[in-house]
Amino acid sequence: MILNFSICILPLLSWITSSLAVIPQHPRPVVLWHGLGDSHSSPGMLEFASRIKELHPGIFVHSVFIDQDLSKDRQAGFYGNVNDQIEFVADQLASIPELRDGFDAIGLSQGGQFLRAYVEMYNSPPVQNLITFGSQHMGISDLPGCSRYDFLCQAALRAAKQAVYSDWAQKNLVQAQYYRDPARIQTYLTSNLFLSAVNNEVPAFRNSTYSHNFASLQKLVLVLFTEDKTVVPKESSWFGSEESHDDVRALDNQYSFVGASERGIVPMRLQPLYTEDWIGLRQLDQRGDVVLETCQGEHMQMGDCWEDLVTKFVGGKA
């Protein structure tokens, strides 16, 4: 009887196992964080989410919001405390059942460095692959311009330019919180409450959790727009920055190379942040898990250049 039972049951088990193997799995979910002047469910963001769903049928897409009201969410891109906003988003993501096992993330412009900050500060649930488009990872050395009739933008930037490193600006004006003036690096380091922290630039306040969490990414995909004039310098999207006086002296003393230094840009792999691995970026890169990509055109003119990246690095395929 035992022999006959085995003869009957083993083919059945084999058939069940092979059948389960071909059951399609849902793609890994993805989280989006929009850029400056946009909102979580604007027509552009809804279209972007829809096209991602076409590339990955069945994928769950969540668009981050600071306020569900679209106008207030847009306003939050200009006014607010970035650290408080990221904490709010961390609670938001932790409350979504579909994200509990982890997700991929796409940050558009300033949404990219905010998602990176989420990874470093919280990362629960964890991000697997992070793609950032035109993001300001090493900050900006000039404030972005505004369109002629964007009065909200104009008011925010006027306030920021007047006293970008004041305590009020650093707690209330979003762009001031990632403004990194190469002529005033020491002022930036002592006054800035967001970017200097997530970049672990202040020795007394370096946080090893940030580097541990960031290095836990499977892939970091950094996209630079070749004709970007909104992000200054555009190389910030690849962790480049305008050289400060200290950078110039260090490069003259330690390196003999042509290119980035002559253009006044310190590239990623010559940043102290990288060479001393303050945030785990060098560890990621030496594993081969930092991908540097470009999109041809001005800031956030994505065209179709994003599709191959989202196909490859979203949904659990890479």
Letter for the amino acid at 108? L
Q: How far apart are the first and last CA of the chain?
A: 49
Query: Is 228 designated active site?
Result: yes
Catalytic residue, from 39, 63, 109, 261: name it.
Answer: 109
Contact 209, 123 (CB under 8 A): no
Q: From the CA atom positions of the chain, what is the Rg in Å?
A: 22
Instruction: Please check whether residue 31 is in contact with residue 59, taking contact to mean a CB–CB distance below 8 angstroms.
Output: no
Among 38, 73, 228, 285, the active-site one is 228
**211 annotated active-site:** no
Kindly report the CA angle at 272 between 36 and 132, in degrees rounded to 5?
30
Q: Decide if 313 contacts 131 (C-beta within 8 A).
A: yes
Q: What are phi and psi of 112, to 5 degrees?
A: -70, -50
Q: What is the DSSP letter of 165?
A: T
DSSP code of 125?
A: S
Angle formed by the axes of helices 110-121 and 82-94, nearest 10°: 70
**249 DSSP β-pair partners:** none
Which is nearest to 208 in space by CA: 146, 315, 283, 103?
283
Count the Cβ atoms, other than its own, within 10 Å of residue 247.
Answer: 20
Catalytic center residues: 109, 228, 299
